[in-house]
Amino acid sequence: MKRLVTLLVFGGILLSAQFVAAGQFGPASPQGKGLSLGLGYNYSSADLDQGEATLKQHQLYARLGMSFSESCEIYLRGGAANLEIEDFDDSSSLFVGGGLKGLILQRRNFDLGAFVDGSVFGDYEDRGAEVTGLYDLNAGLTLETVIEGARLYAGPIFFIREMDVEAQNGTSDSVEEDGNVGGFVGASWQIKDRYNINVEAQFKTDFSGGIEVLYNF
């Protein structure tokens, strides 16, 4: 009964996040053994340090991961994302990203891991205005436990998101996300023998989340 309640609580947190994310960090342990390939979707939202401005992105990407052992994984992401900031709206640009994560502590009831993760985006332009040099960088700890076959995980994040914005009149400024510390929760399920589904919510300057489907070779 306690396990069921825990699953329901995690499910409620994930659903309440409205799926607005900047890229999944995943559970503490690697996503399978050896090579993994997946597809993902995120909706990214962030409050910026310029007035009431808010950044929003839809991100579609492919993910390639490699586990060197049962405790360490490196992964790459690549795809396309749009960009909306107030009246600025560009249809899409390419982006690349990736990360490294590993277990630092294993106990009978939980695992503790650490990770670094980041993405770099192409340039955006709309009606004479331009956004360049957009990137995000994240680092954090992940606490993971397994309940009823689901790997539930959560942890703190330190993050940076910055970009350069040039207005129509030629003035330019460096803009960043209005905050640096947050948290995240997620759940990962293995379906059949080789497939994993990950759902994750992030709590930075705005709620965030996304979904990934991975195939393990």
Say if residue 196 is exposed, middle or buried (CB neighbours under 10 Å; 0-12, 13-18, 19+): buried
List the end-to-end C-alpha distance of the chain, in Å, as a whole number: 35
Which residues span the domain enclosing 161?
2-216
Statement: residue 13 has pLDDT above 80: no
Could you tell me what percent of the chain has a pLDDT over 70?
Answer: 89
Instruction: Residue 190: name the closest of 160, 155, 216 by CA.
Output: 216
CA distance 20 to 207: 6
Least trusted range by pLDDT, from 24-33, 99-108, 121-130: 24-33
Higher pLDDT, 209 or 139: 139
Q: What is the pLDDT of residue 125?
A: 94
Higher pLDDT, 168 or 199: 199
Q: Which CATH number goes with the domain that contains 51?
A: 2.40.160.20
Alpha carbon of residue 25 to chain centroid: 5
Higher pLDDT, 87 or 201: 201
Q: What is the pLDDT of residue 7?
A: 42
How large is the average pLDDT for residues 83-106?
92
- pLDDT tens, position by position, 147-190: 988 999 999 999 999 999 998 877 889 999 999 999 999 999 98
Least trusted range by pLDDT, from 23-37, 62-76, 174-188, 200-214: 23-37
Q: What is the pLDDT of residue 149?
A: 86
Query: Is the Cβ–Cβ distance between 28 and 187 less than 8 Å?
Result: no
Q: What is the pLDDT of residue 118?
A: 94
Say if residue 147 is exposed, middle or buried (CB neighbours under 10 Å; 0-12, 13-18, 19+): middle
The DSSP letter of residue 25 is -
- Reading phi first (left if > 0) and then psi (alpha if -120 to 50, else beta), residue 71 is in alpha
CA distance 145 to 163: 36
Count how many domains the chain has: 1
Could you tell me what percent of the chain has a pLDDT over 90?
Answer: 66
Statement: residue 117 has pLDDT above 80: yes
The pTM of this model reads: 0.85
Q: Is 180 helix (H, G, I), strand (E, B) or coil?
A: coil
The DSSP letter of residue 179 is -
CA distance 181 to 110: 24
Q: What is the pLDDT of residue 23?
A: 66
Rounded mean pLDDT of the chain? 87
Confidence of residue 16 (pLDDT cuts 50, 70, 90): very low
Q: Is 11 helix (H, G, I), strand (E, B) or coil?
A: helix
